[in-house]
Structure 1
Amino acid sequence: MQMIDARFFIALYKSNNNIDIMPISLFREYAQKPLIVYHNKKEVIIELYCDECKKYNKSSLTLKSLKRPGGHRLYCYGCGRELAYLGSKADVEAMVSKHQHEVELLMHEMGFDDYFTEPFIMYELINHIHDMAEDKKIRCQCGSRNVAANIGTDKIELICKNCGSVYIVNAANQEDLEMVRKMQSITIKSKSCRKLTKY
């Protein structure tokens, strides 16, 4: 009797370039953050939670398409962030290996692997700070959104170009990264505002 392989694998992207790989059985349903999986007779429905947008994204895949070589990339419909990769065990493992190699190569080419205290944390933090700036979520109390970034070995200094005030974003460990990712916005305390409050 031939056994039916009713499993596929999903790689869930996390912060700090960590990736969780987990098997999903078509005979079971899963319902815990960030992943909900259920199915009907024709398709598998996958809901993935996006920490940026604070909502679930639903993707429907036919059972036939799950066998397609090359797998499936699953994105957030709100911010466009890649949330997961779905496919056979071989496809998922190959993708994870390629992803990690690309990040390591990029960090090495930029000379960051020897410079930063925690290169992967800094890489994630730079991307996150850049996205926040693009979404106009970084500003100074003086009213300016014109902010420069000075990158250190274990921190990023956000400097208001208008008043010169500085906000330090620590990047020494995983906790620092998680703290910043939970922030809705960053407001730099202005030197001029602090002086005004003294009188």
Structure 2
Amino acid sequence: MIVLVDTLCSVAFYCQRCGQIEIADVPVFSGHGDVVLTCSHCGAEKARLRLVPRKGLVIETGCVVCGQRNRVHYPLRQLRTMTLEKIYCEKDHFELGYIGKWQALAEFLDFNAAEYDALHPHDAYNFMEHQQILLEAFNRVHDLAEEGELFCPCGGHEFTADIAEDAIHLECTRCGSSAVIPAKTPDDLKQLQPGCEVAFLRPDLIRNR
């Protein structure tokens, strides 16, 4: 019996806009065109896939933390034996998604959600929702800054931003003052609206704490 294989592997990427994650099969495709994976929740592009002769599968995906696009490639022989691997941002090592066999990805995501719930029994959200809240909060902060709704007391309106475990850390590029914006629960997201107040601490106050 001949078994026809129509997929190379499966991938699961966090949407860099809303944080949703879902598993998608990578098709066996010919030619040099890209296969674009989009988020079924918000429609944002998650990744671009291309099969390059003698190189294998090339994946391009963005990262909201560093603002750059990442490119990774996997030889076909590696894909045939791969069970599961994590895909990270090349610059800041932020976790972007996973690649491997569909069943392995599904079990891994289910395990992570269950493990998070076990470690945080009083939280009303699981591991996947936690990632979604972080990414959505990061994008809301970015939108507020772009729309002129986010200001430092010094008058500055340009910031560097980093994602922590359950918060967004901002630093004013003008005076160095910093702020920590909670991004742990859905209620934290509700606070990130036009007109919201963000408490900044001056560098000298941080050193003296």
TM over 0.5: yes
Number of corresponding residues: 157
Aligned partner letter, 2:123: F
- The change in CA–CA distance for 1:60 and 1:143 in structure 2 (over 3 A counts) is closer
Offset, 1:105: 2.0
- The change in CA–CA distance for 1:101 and 1:52 in structure 2 (over 3 A counts) is same
Structure possessing the higher radius of gyration over alpha carbons = 1
Offset, 1:188: 3.6
The percentage of counterpart residues that share the same residue type is 16
Aligned to 1:13: 14
Name structure 2 gaps, 5 residues minimum.
38-44, 139-161, 202-209
Aligned partner letter, 1:113: A
Aligned to 1:38: 50
Alpha-carbon contact 1:67-1:88 (below 8 Å) kept: no
Give the RMSD, CA atoms, in angstroms. 4.0
Name structure 1 gaps, 5 residues minimum.
156-169, 181-185, 191-199
Alpha-carbon contact 2:133-2:185 (below 8 Å) kept: no
Question: 123, 128, 141: which one pairs with 2:163?
Answer: 128
The yes-or-no answer on 1:113 pairing with 2:124 is yes
**Hey, what's the Cα distance between the residues in 2 that align with 1:129 and 1:3?**
46
**Hey, what's the Cα distance between the residues in 2 that align with 1:132 and 1:64?**
40
Aligned to 1:65: 78
**Hey, what's the Cα distance between the residues in 1 that align with 2:104 and 2:22?**
14
Aligned to 2:3: 3
**Hey, what's the Cα distance between the residues in 2 that align with 1:151 and 1:81?**
16
Aligned to 1:54: 67
TM-score, normalized by length of structure 2? 0.57
Aligned to 1:91: 104
Offset, 1:107: 2.2
Secondary structure in 1 matching 2:36: strand
